[in-house]
Structure 1
Protein backbone atom coordinates (compact mmCIF):
# COMPACT_ATOMS: atom_id res chain seq x y z
CA UNK A 1 0.00 0.00 0.00
CA UNK A 2 1.33 3.41 -0.96
CA UNK A 3 1.65 5.97 1.83
CA UNK A 4 2.00 9.49 0.43
CA UNK A 5 4.17 12.04 2.13
CA UNK A 6 1.85 14.49 3.87
CA UNK A 7 3.53 17.50 2.28
CA UNK A 8 3.49 15.99 -1.22
CA UNK A 9 -0.12 14.85 -1.09
CA UNK A 10 -1.53 17.95 0.54
CA UNK A 11 0.46 20.25 -1.74
CA UNK A 12 -0.82 18.41 -4.80
CA UNK A 13 -4.43 18.63 -3.65
CA UNK A 14 -3.89 22.28 -2.73
CA UNK A 15 -2.46 23.01 -6.19
CA UNK A 16 -5.43 21.36 -7.86
CA UNK A 17 -7.84 23.25 -5.63
CA UNK A 18 -6.26 26.55 -6.65
CA UNK A 19 -6.35 25.49 -10.30
CA UNK A 20 -10.08 24.81 -10.10
CA UNK A 21 -10.67 28.08 -8.27
CA UNK A 22 -8.63 30.15 -10.71
CA UNK A 23 -10.30 28.49 -13.67
CA UNK A 24 -13.72 29.08 -12.14
CA UNK A 25 -15.27 26.20 -14.07
CA UNK A 26 -15.29 22.46 -14.56
CA UNK A 27 -16.02 22.62 -18.28
CA UNK A 28 -14.81 19.57 -20.11
CA UNK A 29 -13.86 17.85 -16.86
CA UNK A 30 -13.93 14.47 -18.54
CA UNK A 31 -10.33 13.68 -19.34
CA UNK A 32 -8.87 12.43 -22.57
CA UNK A 33 -5.99 9.99 -23.00
CA UNK A 34 -2.51 11.39 -23.40
CA UNK A 35 -1.35 12.01 -26.91
CA UNK A 36 2.19 11.60 -28.13
CA UNK A 37 4.53 14.20 -26.67
CA UNK A 38 5.73 16.96 -28.99
CA UNK A 39 9.07 16.46 -30.65
CA UNK A 40 12.19 18.50 -29.92
CA UNK A 41 11.95 22.28 -30.44
CA UNK A 42 12.26 23.67 -33.95
CA UNK A 43 13.47 27.12 -34.88
CA UNK A 44 10.29 28.07 -36.70
CA UNK A 45 7.74 30.26 -34.95
CA UNK A 46 4.05 30.07 -35.81
CA UNK A 47 1.05 32.16 -34.83
CA UNK A 48 -1.34 30.48 -32.41
CA UNK A 49 -3.95 28.28 -34.01
CA UNK A 50 -7.57 29.34 -33.86
CA UNK A 51 -9.67 27.60 -31.26
CA UNK A 52 -12.16 25.54 -33.25
CA UNK A 53 -14.07 22.41 -32.44
CA UNK A 54 -12.58 19.10 -33.56
CA UNK A 55 -14.79 16.35 -34.98
CA UNK A 56 -16.75 14.44 -32.36
CA UNK A 57 -14.57 11.83 -30.68
CA UNK A 58 -11.32 13.26 -32.05
CA UNK A 59 -8.41 13.50 -29.64
CA UNK A 60 -6.53 16.79 -29.28
CA UNK A 61 -3.31 17.12 -31.24
CA UNK A 62 -0.40 19.01 -29.74
CA UNK A 63 1.96 21.26 -31.64
CA UNK A 64 5.24 19.68 -32.65
CA UNK A 65 7.51 22.05 -30.75
CA UNK A 66 7.28 23.52 -27.23
CA UNK A 67 7.23 27.15 -28.42
CA UNK A 68 4.14 26.54 -30.56
CA UNK A 69 2.66 24.41 -27.78
CA UNK A 70 2.96 27.43 -25.48
CA UNK A 71 1.15 29.65 -28.01
CA UNK A 72 -1.66 27.12 -28.38
CA UNK A 73 -1.93 26.73 -24.62
CA UNK A 74 -2.33 30.48 -24.17
CA UNK A 75 -5.01 30.51 -26.88
CA UNK A 76 -6.85 27.70 -25.11
CA UNK A 77 -6.60 29.36 -21.70
CA UNK A 78 -8.06 32.56 -23.13
CA UNK A 79 -10.84 30.66 -24.88
CA UNK A 80 -11.75 29.07 -21.55
CA UNK A 81 -12.12 32.51 -20.00
CA UNK A 82 -14.06 34.06 -22.88
CA UNK A 83 -17.84 33.91 -22.28
CA UNK A 84 -18.42 34.07 -26.04
CA UNK A 85 -16.54 30.83 -26.79
CA UNK A 86 -19.05 28.35 -28.28
CA UNK A 87 -19.69 25.14 -26.36
CA UNK A 88 -17.95 22.70 -28.76
CA UNK A 89 -14.90 24.97 -29.03
CA UNK A 90 -14.84 25.33 -25.25
CA UNK A 91 -14.79 21.56 -24.83
CA UNK A 92 -12.02 21.17 -27.40
CA UNK A 93 -9.93 23.91 -25.79
CA UNK A 94 -10.33 22.23 -22.40
CA UNK A 95 -9.24 18.86 -23.74
CA UNK A 96 -6.20 20.24 -25.54
CA UNK A 97 -5.26 22.26 -22.46
CA UNK A 98 -5.37 19.12 -20.31
CA UNK A 99 -3.22 17.13 -22.73
CA UNK A 100 -0.74 20.01 -22.99
CA UNK A 101 -0.28 20.19 -19.23
CA UNK A 102 0.27 16.44 -19.07
CA UNK A 103 3.01 16.69 -21.68
CA UNK A 104 4.63 19.71 -20.03
CA UNK A 105 4.54 17.95 -16.68
CA UNK A 106 6.56 15.08 -18.12
CA UNK A 107 9.16 17.37 -19.69
CA UNK A 108 10.76 19.83 -17.25
CA UNK A 109 13.41 20.52 -19.87
CA UNK A 110 10.76 22.48 -21.79
CA UNK A 111 10.21 24.94 -18.95
CA UNK A 112 12.74 27.44 -20.26
CA UNK A 113 10.95 27.58 -23.61
CA UNK A 114 7.31 27.44 -22.55
CA UNK A 115 7.05 29.45 -19.34
CA UNK A 116 8.48 32.71 -20.78
CA UNK A 117 5.70 32.60 -23.37
CA UNK A 118 2.93 32.55 -20.77
CA UNK A 119 1.37 36.01 -20.15
CA UNK A 120 1.61 37.43 -16.65
CA UNK A 121 -2.11 37.04 -16.00
CA UNK A 122 -1.89 33.29 -16.67
CA UNK A 123 1.42 32.46 -15.00
CA UNK A 124 -0.05 31.54 -11.61
CA UNK A 125 -2.57 29.21 -13.24
CA UNK A 126 0.16 27.69 -15.43
CA UNK A 127 2.52 27.14 -12.50
CA UNK A 128 -0.17 25.46 -10.40
CA UNK A 129 -1.16 23.14 -13.23
CA UNK A 130 2.39 22.07 -13.97
CA UNK A 131 3.24 21.66 -10.29
CA UNK A 132 0.12 19.55 -9.76
CA UNK A 133 0.93 17.29 -12.72
CA UNK A 134 4.45 16.69 -11.45
CA UNK A 135 3.31 15.98 -7.92
CA UNK A 136 0.77 13.52 -9.28
CA UNK A 137 3.61 11.68 -11.02
CA UNK A 138 5.39 11.22 -7.67
CA UNK A 139 2.30 9.53 -6.17
CA UNK A 140 2.12 6.69 -8.67
CA UNK A 141 4.40 4.05 -10.10
CA UNK A 142 3.92 2.53 -13.56
CA UNK A 143 2.37 -0.93 -13.63
CA UNK A 144 2.52 -3.65 -16.25
CA UNK A 145 -1.14 -4.58 -15.83
CA UNK A 146 -4.33 -2.71 -15.03
CA UNK A 147 -7.02 -3.70 -12.54
CA UNK A 148 -10.51 -4.61 -13.71
CA UNK A 149 -11.59 -1.02 -14.28
CA UNK A 150 -14.41 0.27 -16.45
CA UNK A 151 -14.12 3.66 -18.08
CA UNK A 152 -17.44 5.50 -18.23
CA UNK A 153 -18.53 9.07 -18.99
CA UNK A 154 -18.39 11.26 -15.87
CA UNK A 155 -21.40 12.96 -14.38
CA UNK A 156 -22.12 16.30 -16.12
CA UNK A 157 -19.93 19.10 -14.80
CA UNK A 158 -22.85 21.18 -13.56
CA UNK A 159 -24.10 18.27 -11.43
CA UNK A 160 -20.66 17.68 -9.95
CA UNK A 161 -20.21 21.37 -9.18
CA UNK A 162 -23.62 21.47 -7.48
CA UNK A 163 -22.61 18.51 -5.31
CA UNK A 164 -19.27 20.12 -4.42
CA UNK A 165 -21.02 23.36 -3.49
CA UNK A 166 -23.60 21.58 -1.35
CA UNK A 167 -20.87 19.64 0.44
CA UNK A 168 -18.96 22.87 1.03
CA UNK A 169 -22.05 24.48 2.54
CA UNK A 170 -22.69 21.49 4.79
CA UNK A 171 -19.13 20.78 5.93
CA UNK A 172 -17.10 23.95 5.48
CA UNK A 173 -14.63 22.15 3.20
CA UNK A 174 -13.87 24.21 0.09
CA UNK A 175 -15.52 22.81 -3.02
CA UNK A 176 -12.28 22.96 -5.00
CA UNK A 177 -10.60 20.57 -2.53
CA UNK A 178 -13.43 18.09 -3.03
CA UNK A 179 -13.09 18.44 -6.80
CA UNK A 180 -9.34 17.84 -6.51
CA UNK A 181 -9.88 14.64 -4.51
CA UNK A 182 -12.49 13.48 -7.01
CA UNK A 183 -9.99 14.00 -9.81
CA UNK A 184 -7.16 12.24 -7.98
CA UNK A 185 -9.22 9.23 -6.98
CA UNK A 186 -11.33 8.39 -10.04
CA UNK A 187 -10.96 11.19 -12.58
CA UNK A 188 -14.37 12.62 -11.67
CA UNK A 189 -15.95 9.19 -11.43
CA UNK A 190 -14.98 8.10 -14.94
CA UNK A 191 -12.84 5.23 -13.60
CA UNK A 192 -15.13 2.58 -12.10
CA UNK A 193 -13.80 -0.19 -9.89
CA UNK A 194 -12.52 -1.01 -6.43
CA UNK A 195 -8.98 -0.29 -5.34
CA UNK A 196 -6.66 -3.11 -4.31
CA UNK A 197 -7.43 -2.16 -0.70
CA UNK A 198 -11.19 -2.37 -1.26
CA UNK A 199 -12.02 1.33 -1.53
CA UNK A 200 -15.15 2.00 -3.57
CA UNK A 201 -17.04 4.71 -5.37
CA UNK A 202 -16.17 8.05 -6.99
CA UNK A 203 -14.39 9.31 -3.86
CA UNK A 204 -12.83 5.91 -3.03
CA UNK A 205 -14.13 5.21 0.47
CA UNK A 206 -13.62 2.05 2.44
CA UNK A 207 -17.17 0.76 3.12
CA UNK A 208 -16.75 1.01 6.89
CA UNK A 209 -15.63 4.63 6.67
CA UNK A 210 -18.44 5.54 4.31
CA UNK A 211 -20.91 3.96 6.72
CA UNK A 212 -19.68 6.38 9.39
CA UNK A 213 -19.74 9.54 7.26
CA UNK A 214 -22.12 8.81 4.38
CA UNK A 215 -25.32 9.52 6.33
CA UNK A 216 -27.04 6.43 4.93
CA UNK A 217 -26.23 7.26 1.31
CA UNK A 218 -24.91 5.18 -1.57
CA UNK A 219 -21.13 4.77 -1.74
CA UNK A 220 -21.35 4.68 -5.55
CA UNK A 221 -23.43 7.87 -5.81
CA UNK A 222 -21.31 10.87 -6.87
CA UNK A 223 -23.34 13.24 -4.71
CA UNK A 224 -23.48 10.98 -1.64
CA UNK A 225 -19.77 10.21 -1.79
CA UNK A 226 -18.85 13.89 -2.22
CA UNK A 227 -21.00 14.81 0.77
CA UNK A 228 -19.33 12.03 2.78
CA UNK A 229 -15.89 13.33 1.79
CA UNK A 230 -16.79 16.76 3.13
CA UNK A 231 -18.03 15.20 6.37
CA UNK A 232 -14.87 13.13 6.74
CA UNK A 233 -12.49 16.02 6.14
CA UNK A 234 -14.42 18.27 8.52
CA UNK A 235 -14.34 15.60 11.23
CA UNK A 236 -10.58 15.31 10.77
CA UNK A 237 -9.92 18.98 11.45
CA UNK A 238 -9.96 20.50 7.97
CA UNK A 239 -10.87 23.92 9.37
CA UNK A 240 -7.70 24.08 11.48
CA UNK A 241 -5.26 22.01 9.41
CA UNK A 242 -6.32 21.26 5.83
CA UNK A 243 -3.05 19.52 4.99
CA UNK A 244 -3.38 17.03 7.82
CA UNK A 245 -7.03 16.36 6.99
CA UNK A 246 -6.13 15.69 3.36
CA UNK A 247 -3.40 13.30 4.43
CA UNK A 248 -5.79 11.50 6.75
CA UNK A 249 -8.22 11.07 3.87
CA UNK A 250 -5.71 9.17 1.81
CA UNK A 251 -3.67 7.54 4.54
CA UNK A 252 -6.45 6.29 6.80
CA UNK A 253 -8.70 5.10 3.99
CA UNK A 254 -5.91 3.63 1.90
CA UNK A 255 -7.37 5.25 -1.17
CA UNK A 256 -4.18 6.79 -2.47
CA UNK A 257 -2.63 3.65 -3.92
CA UNK A 258 -0.55 3.61 -7.07
CA UNK A 259 -3.45 1.99 -8.94
CA UNK A 260 -5.94 4.74 -8.07
CA UNK A 261 -4.07 8.04 -8.20
CA UNK A 262 -4.15 8.35 -11.97
CA UNK A 263 -6.56 7.19 -14.64
CA UNK A 264 -5.27 4.58 -17.12
CA UNK A 265 -3.47 5.95 -20.12
Structure 2
Protein backbone atom coordinates (compact mmCIF):
# COMPACT_ATOMS: atom_id res chain seq x y z
CA UNK A 1 0.00 0.00 0.00
CA UNK A 2 1.34 3.43 -0.87
CA UNK A 3 0.26 6.94 -0.04
CA UNK A 4 -2.29 8.49 -2.37
CA UNK A 5 -1.49 12.01 -3.71
CA UNK A 6 -3.88 13.99 -1.52
CA UNK A 7 -3.13 11.85 1.51
CA UNK A 8 0.63 12.19 1.16
CA UNK A 9 0.35 15.96 1.13
CA UNK A 10 -0.46 15.91 4.83
CA UNK A 11 2.72 14.18 6.00
CA UNK A 12 2.18 15.29 9.51
CA UNK A 13 2.63 18.39 11.17
CA UNK A 14 3.36 15.35 12.30
CA UNK A 15 0.36 13.82 10.54
CA UNK A 16 0.16 11.50 7.55
CA UNK A 17 -3.22 9.90 6.87
CA UNK A 18 -2.58 6.46 5.40
CA UNK A 19 -4.49 3.24 4.95
CA UNK A 20 -4.24 0.07 7.04
CA UNK A 21 -3.82 -2.85 4.69
CA UNK A 22 -3.01 -6.51 5.17
CA UNK A 23 -2.48 -7.69 1.62
CA UNK A 24 1.05 -6.33 1.05
CA UNK A 25 3.99 -8.75 0.63
CA UNK A 26 6.41 -9.26 3.51
CA UNK A 27 9.36 -6.85 3.49
CA UNK A 28 12.97 -8.02 3.25
CA UNK A 29 14.12 -9.62 6.49
CA UNK A 30 17.41 -7.72 6.64
CA UNK A 31 15.90 -4.22 6.60
CA UNK A 32 17.13 -2.09 9.50
CA UNK A 33 14.25 -0.26 11.18
CA UNK A 34 15.82 0.51 14.53
CA UNK A 35 16.09 4.22 15.35
CA UNK A 36 19.69 5.35 15.60
CA UNK A 37 20.41 7.90 18.27
CA UNK A 38 23.78 9.45 18.96
CA UNK A 39 24.91 9.46 22.61
CA UNK A 40 24.36 12.65 24.53
CA UNK A 41 26.57 14.18 27.18
CA UNK A 42 25.49 14.55 30.77
CA UNK A 43 23.59 17.76 31.37
CA UNK A 44 21.52 19.37 34.12
CA UNK A 45 18.18 17.80 34.98
CA UNK A 46 15.40 18.94 32.62
CA UNK A 47 12.56 18.24 35.04
CA UNK A 48 12.95 21.32 37.23
CA UNK A 49 10.18 23.97 37.06
CA UNK A 50 10.80 26.41 34.20
CA UNK A 51 11.90 29.90 35.20
CA UNK A 52 9.11 32.41 34.46
CA UNK A 53 11.38 34.59 32.32
CA UNK A 54 11.81 31.67 29.92
CA UNK A 55 8.37 30.09 30.08
CA UNK A 56 6.25 33.15 29.39
CA UNK A 57 7.93 34.38 26.17
CA UNK A 58 8.25 30.86 24.76
CA UNK A 59 4.61 29.85 25.28
CA UNK A 60 2.70 33.13 25.31
CA UNK A 61 0.28 34.04 22.52
CA UNK A 62 -0.39 32.11 19.33
CA UNK A 63 2.49 29.66 18.81
CA UNK A 64 4.80 30.70 15.98
CA UNK A 65 7.72 28.91 14.38
CA UNK A 66 11.14 29.90 15.76
CA UNK A 67 13.25 32.45 13.92
CA UNK A 68 16.63 31.21 15.20
CA UNK A 69 18.18 28.12 16.85
CA UNK A 70 18.29 29.78 20.27
CA UNK A 71 14.56 30.48 20.07
CA UNK A 72 13.86 26.88 19.03
CA UNK A 73 15.82 25.63 22.04
CA UNK A 74 13.88 27.93 24.39
CA UNK A 75 10.62 26.66 22.94
CA UNK A 76 11.61 23.02 23.47
CA UNK A 77 12.82 23.65 27.03
CA UNK A 78 9.67 25.51 28.08
CA UNK A 79 7.30 23.09 26.35
CA UNK A 80 8.91 19.94 27.70
CA UNK A 81 8.97 21.21 31.25
CA UNK A 82 5.22 21.75 31.03
CA UNK A 83 4.65 18.30 29.51
CA UNK A 84 6.75 16.66 32.25
CA UNK A 85 5.18 18.61 35.10
CA UNK A 86 2.85 16.70 37.45
CA UNK A 87 -0.48 18.33 36.54
CA UNK A 88 -0.20 21.03 33.88
CA UNK A 89 -3.13 23.34 33.23
CA UNK A 90 -4.98 22.28 30.04
CA UNK A 91 -4.46 25.62 28.26
CA UNK A 92 -0.76 25.67 29.10
CA UNK A 93 -0.37 22.05 27.99
CA UNK A 94 -2.09 22.84 24.68
CA UNK A 95 0.27 25.76 24.10
CA UNK A 96 3.27 23.65 25.07
CA UNK A 97 2.41 20.86 22.65
CA UNK A 98 1.85 23.19 19.73
CA UNK A 99 5.00 25.15 20.54
CA UNK A 100 7.12 22.00 20.67
CA UNK A 101 5.63 20.83 17.38
CA UNK A 102 6.53 24.06 15.62
CA UNK A 103 10.08 23.85 16.96
CA UNK A 104 10.42 20.30 15.63
CA UNK A 105 9.06 21.27 12.22
CA UNK A 106 11.48 24.18 11.85
CA UNK A 107 14.54 22.34 13.13
CA UNK A 108 13.80 19.39 10.85
CA UNK A 109 13.51 21.69 7.84
CA UNK A 110 16.76 23.55 8.51
CA UNK A 111 19.66 21.14 8.28
CA UNK A 112 22.19 23.42 9.99
CA UNK A 113 20.04 24.09 13.04
CA UNK A 114 19.97 20.75 14.84
CA UNK A 115 23.54 20.78 16.30
CA UNK A 116 23.12 24.38 17.43
CA UNK A 117 19.78 23.70 19.11
CA UNK A 118 21.05 20.54 20.78
CA UNK A 119 23.92 22.53 22.23
CA UNK A 120 21.44 24.66 24.17
CA UNK A 121 19.48 21.74 25.64
CA UNK A 122 19.86 19.35 28.55
CA UNK A 123 20.09 15.61 28.16
CA UNK A 124 16.38 14.71 28.21
CA UNK A 125 15.42 17.53 25.88
CA UNK A 126 18.21 16.66 23.49
CA UNK A 127 17.07 13.06 23.27
CA UNK A 128 13.46 14.15 22.78
CA UNK A 129 14.36 16.57 19.99
CA UNK A 130 16.63 14.12 18.17
CA UNK A 131 13.87 11.51 18.01
CA UNK A 132 11.16 13.91 16.91
CA UNK A 133 13.29 15.61 14.26
CA UNK A 134 14.28 12.19 12.95
CA UNK A 135 10.63 11.16 12.76
CA UNK A 136 9.65 14.38 11.03
CA UNK A 137 12.35 13.88 8.41
CA UNK A 138 11.28 10.29 7.82
CA UNK A 139 7.68 11.28 7.17
CA UNK A 140 8.72 14.24 5.06
CA UNK A 141 10.87 11.92 2.91
CA UNK A 142 7.71 10.05 1.90
CA UNK A 143 6.64 13.06 -0.16
CA UNK A 144 8.37 13.61 -3.55
CA UNK A 145 9.03 17.23 -2.59
CA UNK A 146 8.57 18.93 -5.95
CA UNK A 147 6.47 22.10 -5.73
CA UNK A 148 4.27 20.89 -8.57
CA UNK A 149 3.34 17.84 -6.50
CA UNK A 150 2.20 19.84 -3.49
CA UNK A 151 -1.45 20.57 -2.84
CA UNK A 152 -3.04 23.81 -3.97
CA UNK A 153 -6.26 22.92 -2.18
CA UNK A 154 -7.03 22.11 1.44
CA UNK A 155 -9.00 18.92 2.08
CA UNK A 156 -12.70 18.41 2.75
CA UNK A 157 -12.18 17.48 6.39
CA UNK A 158 -13.50 18.26 9.82
CA UNK A 159 -10.99 18.85 12.61
CA UNK A 160 -12.30 17.94 16.06
CA UNK A 161 -10.76 17.68 19.55
CA UNK A 162 -9.05 14.35 20.28
CA UNK A 163 -10.31 12.06 23.01
CA UNK A 164 -8.69 12.62 26.43
CA UNK A 165 -5.35 10.96 27.04
CA UNK A 166 -6.85 8.79 29.79
CA UNK A 167 -9.55 7.48 27.45
CA UNK A 168 -7.15 6.69 24.63
CA UNK A 169 -4.60 5.11 26.95
CA UNK A 170 -7.29 2.79 28.30
CA UNK A 171 -7.94 1.53 24.75
CA UNK A 172 -4.23 1.24 23.91
CA UNK A 173 -3.64 -0.76 27.09
CA UNK A 174 -6.57 -3.06 26.37
CA UNK A 175 -5.21 -3.78 22.89
CA UNK A 176 -1.76 -4.38 24.38
CA UNK A 177 -3.16 -6.92 26.86
CA UNK A 178 -5.32 -8.70 24.31
CA UNK A 179 -3.05 -8.74 21.27
CA UNK A 180 0.51 -8.28 22.55
CA UNK A 181 1.06 -4.97 20.71
CA UNK A 182 2.93 -2.36 22.76
CA UNK A 183 0.58 0.50 23.53
CA UNK A 184 3.18 3.08 22.47
CA UNK A 185 3.11 1.76 18.90
CA UNK A 186 -0.67 1.94 18.76
CA UNK A 187 -0.52 5.51 20.04
CA UNK A 188 2.15 6.43 17.51
CA UNK A 189 0.08 5.01 14.64
CA UNK A 190 -3.01 6.83 15.90
CA UNK A 191 -0.97 10.04 15.99
CA UNK A 192 0.53 9.66 12.54
CA UNK A 193 -2.68 8.55 10.85
CA UNK A 194 -5.15 11.18 12.11
CA UNK A 195 -3.43 13.10 14.92
CA UNK A 196 -5.33 10.99 17.48
CA UNK A 197 -8.64 11.24 15.66
CA UNK A 198 -8.59 15.01 15.16
CA UNK A 199 -9.08 14.44 11.43
CA UNK A 200 -12.53 13.34 10.32
CA UNK A 201 -12.49 12.51 6.64
CA UNK A 202 -11.99 9.70 4.16
CA UNK A 203 -8.70 9.48 2.30
CA UNK A 204 -8.64 9.32 -1.49
CA UNK A 205 -7.72 5.64 -1.10
CA UNK A 206 -10.93 5.07 0.86
CA UNK A 207 -9.39 4.73 4.32
CA UNK A 208 -11.63 5.71 7.21
CA UNK A 209 -11.62 6.33 10.93
CA UNK A 210 -8.99 7.28 13.50
CA UNK A 211 -6.68 4.40 12.54
CA UNK A 212 -7.40 4.75 8.79
CA UNK A 213 -8.71 1.35 7.73
CA UNK A 214 -9.76 0.42 4.22
CA UNK A 215 -13.29 -1.04 4.59
CA UNK A 216 -12.28 -4.43 3.19
CA UNK A 217 -9.49 -4.69 5.76
CA UNK A 218 -11.88 -3.52 8.45
CA UNK A 219 -14.19 -6.40 7.54
CA UNK A 220 -11.37 -8.78 8.53
CA UNK A 221 -10.12 -7.09 11.71
CA UNK A 222 -12.96 -4.84 12.88
CA UNK A 223 -14.83 -7.62 14.74
CA UNK A 224 -18.18 -6.03 13.88
CA UNK A 225 -17.23 -2.70 15.48
CA UNK A 226 -17.59 0.87 14.24
CA UNK A 227 -14.74 1.95 11.96
CA UNK A 228 -15.18 5.54 13.20
CA UNK A 229 -15.01 4.63 16.89
CA UNK A 230 -11.59 5.16 18.47
CA UNK A 231 -11.82 2.18 20.83
CA UNK A 232 -12.97 -0.21 18.11
CA UNK A 233 -10.36 1.07 15.66
CA UNK A 234 -7.50 0.76 18.15
CA UNK A 235 -8.47 -2.83 18.93
CA UNK A 236 -8.69 -3.58 15.20
CA UNK A 237 -5.18 -2.21 14.72
CA UNK A 238 -4.00 -4.51 17.50
CA UNK A 239 -5.58 -7.50 15.75
CA UNK A 240 -4.01 -6.53 12.42
CA UNK A 241 -0.53 -6.04 13.89
CA UNK A 242 -0.73 -9.33 15.81
CA UNK A 243 -1.79 -11.15 12.64
CA UNK A 244 1.17 -9.61 10.81
CA UNK A 245 3.67 -10.91 13.37
CA UNK A 246 4.25 -7.93 15.65
CA UNK A 247 5.56 -10.21 18.41
CA UNK A 248 8.22 -11.61 16.08
CA UNK A 249 9.17 -8.51 14.11
CA UNK A 250 7.71 -5.10 14.98
CA UNK A 251 9.17 -3.42 11.90
CA UNK A 252 7.74 -5.98 9.48
CA UNK A 253 4.28 -5.70 11.06
CA UNK A 254 4.36 -1.91 10.82
CA UNK A 255 5.48 -2.17 7.20
CA UNK A 256 2.36 -4.19 6.48
CA UNK A 257 0.32 -1.32 7.93
CA UNK A 258 1.99 1.07 5.48
CA UNK A 259 4.49 -0.16 2.90
CA UNK A 260 7.21 2.36 3.65
CA UNK A 261 10.34 1.93 5.75
CA UNK A 262 10.30 5.68 6.36
CA UNK A 263 6.85 5.21 7.92
CA UNK A 264 8.15 2.33 10.04
CA UNK A 265 11.10 4.35 11.31
CA UNK A 266 8.99 7.43 11.98
CA UNK A 267 6.37 5.51 13.95
CA UNK A 268 9.12 3.73 15.87
CA UNK A 269 10.76 7.02 16.86
CA UNK A 270 7.49 8.32 18.31
CA UNK A 271 6.76 5.03 20.06
CA UNK A 272 10.20 5.05 21.66
CA UNK A 273 9.69 8.62 22.88
CA UNK A 274 6.53 7.50 24.70
CA UNK A 275 8.16 4.31 25.95
CA UNK A 276 10.91 6.34 27.60
CA UNK A 277 8.43 8.83 29.06
CA UNK A 278 4.69 8.02 28.95
CA UNK A 279 3.91 11.68 29.76
CA UNK A 280 4.82 12.48 26.18
CA UNK A 281 1.45 11.08 25.09
CA UNK A 282 -0.27 14.15 26.51
CA UNK A 283 2.25 16.39 24.81
CA UNK A 284 1.66 14.72 21.45
CA UNK A 285 -2.09 15.01 21.95
CA UNK A 286 -1.62 18.78 21.87
CA UNK A 287 0.09 18.69 18.47
CA UNK A 288 -2.04 20.27 15.76
CA UNK A 289 -2.96 19.25 12.21
CA UNK A 290 -0.77 20.78 9.48
CA UNK A 291 -1.44 20.18 5.81
CA UNK A 292 1.45 20.42 3.37
CA UNK A 293 0.72 22.76 0.45
CA UNK A 294 2.53 24.84 -2.14
CA UNK A 295 2.54 27.70 0.34
CA UNK A 296 3.93 25.57 3.15
CA UNK A 297 2.35 23.75 6.06
CA UNK A 298 -1.10 25.21 6.74
CA UNK A 299 -2.55 24.82 10.23
CA UNK A 300 -6.05 23.32 10.27
CA UNK A 301 -7.32 24.07 13.80
CA UNK A 302 -10.22 22.53 15.66
CA UNK A 303 -13.39 23.84 14.05
CA UNK A 304 -12.04 23.61 10.49
CA UNK A 305 -14.96 22.09 8.59
CA UNK A 306 -15.13 21.92 4.81
CA UNK A 307 -17.39 19.73 2.70
CA UNK A 308 -15.41 20.57 -0.44
CA UNK A 309 -11.71 21.26 -1.02
CA UNK A 310 -10.68 24.88 -0.43
CA UNK A 311 -8.11 26.85 -2.49
CA UNK A 312 -5.06 27.26 -0.27
CA UNK A 313 -4.30 30.85 -1.24
CA UNK A 314 -7.83 32.06 -0.52
CA UNK A 315 -7.86 30.27 2.84
CA UNK A 316 -4.50 31.71 3.92
CA UNK A 317 -5.50 35.22 2.84
CA UNK A 318 -8.56 34.90 5.09
CA UNK A 319 -6.57 33.25 7.92
CA UNK A 320 -2.95 34.46 7.73
CA UNK A 321 -2.21 33.20 11.25
CA UNK A 322 -2.62 29.63 10.00
CA UNK A 323 0.58 29.78 7.97
CA UNK A 324 2.96 30.21 10.95
- The TM-score, its normalising length taken from structure 1, stands at 0.73
* SS across alignment from 1:251: coil
How far apart are the structure 1 equivalents of 2:164 and 2:85?
Answer: 21
Residue number among 49, 55, 66 corresponding to 1:50 in the alignment: 55
Bigger shift: 230-239 or 179-188? 179-188
Change in 2 beyond 3 A, CA 1:161/1:140: farther
Residue number among 201, 206, 210 corresponding to 1:202 in the alignment: 210
Maintained 8 Å contact 1:53/1:92:
no
* SS across alignment from 1:50: helix
Maintained 8 Å contact 1:10/1:244:
no
Residue number among 213, 232, 243 corresponding to 1:224 in the alignment: 232
Check if 1:69 corresponds to 2:38: no
Q: How does 1:20-169 map to 2 (within 5 A)?
A: 49-51=54-56, 59-83=62-86, 85-141=88-144, 142-169=150-177
Q: Which runs of 4+ in 1 moved over 4 A?
A: 9-12, 51-55
Maintained 8 Å contact 1:203/1:225:
yes
| Unmatched runs of 5 consecutive residues or more in structure 2 | 4-17, 19-26, 37-51, 145-149, 265-288, 292-297, 299-324
Partner of 2:186: 178
Structure (1/2) with the larger strand percentage: 2
How far apart are the structure 1 equivalents of 2:32 and 2:125?
Answer: 23
Change in 2 beyond 3 A, CA 1:133/1:74: same
Maintained 8 Å contact 1:186/1:263:
no
Residue by residue over 1:178-237, the C-alpha shift from the partner in whole angstroms, topping out at 9 and shown as x without a partner, is 111111111111111111111111111111111111111000101100100000000100
Maintained 8 Å contact 1:101/1:130:
yes
Partner of 1:25: none
How far apart are the structure 1 equivalents of 2:111 and 2:33?
Answer: 19
How far apart are the structure 2 equivalents of 1:107 and 1:97?
Answer: 16
Q: CA RMSD in A?
A: 3.1
Partner of 2:280: none
- The TM-score, its normalising length taken from structure 2, stands at 0.61
How far apart are the structure 2 equivalents of 1:69 and 1:146?
Answer: 28
Residue number among 201, 225, 236 corresponding to 2:244 in the alignment: 236
Alignment: residue pair count: 222
* SS across alignment from 1:189: coil
* SS across alignment from 1:201: coil
| Unmatched runs of 5 consecutive residues or more in structure 1 | 16-46, 257-261
Check if 1:2 corresponds to 2:5: no
